Amino acid sequence: LFGYKPPKNLKYIYEYLLFSSDYSKTNIAFDERELVRYVRQLIELKEERAKYFANILRATAGKHIDYLLLSRTFWDFLNDIYVRYFQEEGFPGFYWTVIGFIIPILGAIQALPPKADIYHSTTTGYAVLSALTGKYYHGGKLIVTEHGIYHREREIEITKSKSVPEVYKKPWIEIFKLISETAYAECDALTTLFEKNQIFQFELGADFRKMHVIPNGIDIEKFSTIKKVEHDTFNVAMVGRVVPIKDVVTGIKAFDALVKEVPNSRLYVIGPTDEDEEYYQRCVNLVELLGLGGKVIFTGKANVIDYYGMMDVLLMSSISEGQPLVQLEAMAAGLPVVVTNVGNCPEIALDPDGQSGFVVEPKDYVAMAEKLIILAKDKGLRETLAQNGRRVVSQKYTLERMINSYRQLYEEVLRNA
């Protein structure tokens, strides 16, 4: 049921289904005409839309609004929007696209959480709408944590999507921006993993007085105590899901160039292969095409601790990252790293208190191979980078440090209640 072992102080788990509807007209939020008027004004607003949306959420907290979808008023409203903005599109496609936008939002708004002192949302997606209703209805405080910048991730996803018609992409992107903008404006504290992310939050209206950086933390002892296993090959680890965003294809190309210089190299791709089976097959086909059979090992889902002892370097060829635990864990295990210039990866690898690896641009498999070759041929350099990595992680990215930072933030938010 859970990807992680639940902590002992976990009391309850509530599951809310975004796509389930309750068309009850008891405890309704608004007269349907009034609610449609609010939504229409929200669409036409150019400024202060987050403030206006927050007022709608505040008024609907703990009440039913699904009934609106069955009303003649809503149907007339939809028809008006269609005629004004989407008349060149077929109406059935327009209708179901809009319903697809609306239902999860309504589901999240109506997912009223239990009374609490603090609501902590780890995304500015649908979950934060539920957290906001808890804040408004019960009078609690709201902390928002973003690892990646959610609205930017959705924008990339929607822009690349082949299933979403072009005409609907911008409105959908704007919906996610509006939710993020509202969360930033209404939260009592906003955290992220590293400073670069704060730029994007600030651009969307976040108040710098609420903003905090709390880096990831890992169990140092768990990884630093991994024993090295003797081996006579140069072993490269790629750790993570075999999916396009990790760009395993580019990693394989870099490894191919490495093998031409260091023939006794091996590449271990450690992670699940079933999330995108088409992409996984593409990787397998590339391995066969390059004649790397036997040199590239796909482990499937596995415990990295079982492999790190016989690895010499971590390669991360991702085209997008936040502050990856994989990089921190590998450093704690004593592996130098070759990472791409995305997210917080370069700042960690090139930390002024000790360089733990090399940074290359995404997709540049030639540069990746060059760095891997340097590391393969210089054991002393590998050991120096490994020592630096262990020191940096133990000073800045411990689990204890992260927990203490959140504990202090909770106390600060409650003091300001």
Is the confidence at residue 102, as pLDDT, over 70? yes
The whole-angstrom separation of Cα 284 and Cα 270 is 14
Q: 3-class DSSP state for residue 124?
A: coil
Q: So what's the pLDDT on residue 40?
A: 80
Q: Report the candidate in 408, 238, 240 with the shortest Cα–Cα distance to residue 322.
A: 240
Q: So what's the pLDDT on residue 210?
A: 96
Task: Using pLDDT thresholds of 50, 70 and 90, give the confidence band for residue 27.
Answer: low
Sheet with 313-315, side-by-side order of all strands: 296-300, 265-270, 234-239, 313-315, 337-340, 357-360
Q: Considering the entire predicted model, what is its pTM? A: 0.87
The whole-angstrom separation of Cα 150 and Cα 158 is 12
Q: Report the candidate in 269, 394, 271, 401 with the shortest Cα–Cα distance to residue 332.
A: 394
The whole-angstrom separation of Cα 144 and Cα 141 is 10
Provide the phi-psi class of 354: left if phi over 0, else alpha when psi is between -120 and 50, else beta: left
Q: What digits encode the pLDDT tens for the residues 120-167? A: 999 999 999 999 999 999 999 999 999 888 998 889 889 988 888 899
Domains of the chain (ranges; CATH) run 32-213 (no CATH), 220-397 (3.40.50.2000)
Q: Which two tokens stand for residue 331?
A: 């450093």
Is the confidence at residue 313, as pLDDT, over 90? yes
User: Which run of H or of E encompasses 314?
Assistant: strand 313-315
The whole-angstrom separation of Cα 372 and Cα 89 is 52
Is the confidence at residue 1, as pLDDT, over 70? no
Is the confidence at residue 20, as pLDDT, over 80? no
Q: 3-class DSSP state for residue 337?
A: strand
Q: Report the candidate in 126, 74, 121, 124 with the shortest Cα–Cα distance to residue 105.
A: 126
Q: Report the candidate in 374, 365, 343 with the shortest Cα–Cα distance to residue 357.
A: 374
Is the confidence at residue 192, as pLDDT, over 70? yes
Give me Rg for the CA atoms of the chain: 25
Q: What digits encode the pLDDT tens for the residues 49-87? A: 899 999 889 988 888 888 788 888 889 989 999 999 998
Q: What DSSP string runs through 248-303?
A: HHHHHHHHHHHHHH-TTEEEEEEB---SSHHHHHHHHHHHHHTT-BTTEEEEES--
Measured between alpha carbons, how far is residue 95 from residues 90, 101, 173, 297 in Å? 9, 10, 18, 47
Task: Using pLDDT thresholds of 50, 70 and 90, give the confidence band for residue 25.
Answer: low
The whole-angstrom separation of Cα 32 and Cα 175 is 21
Mean pLDDT of the chain: 93
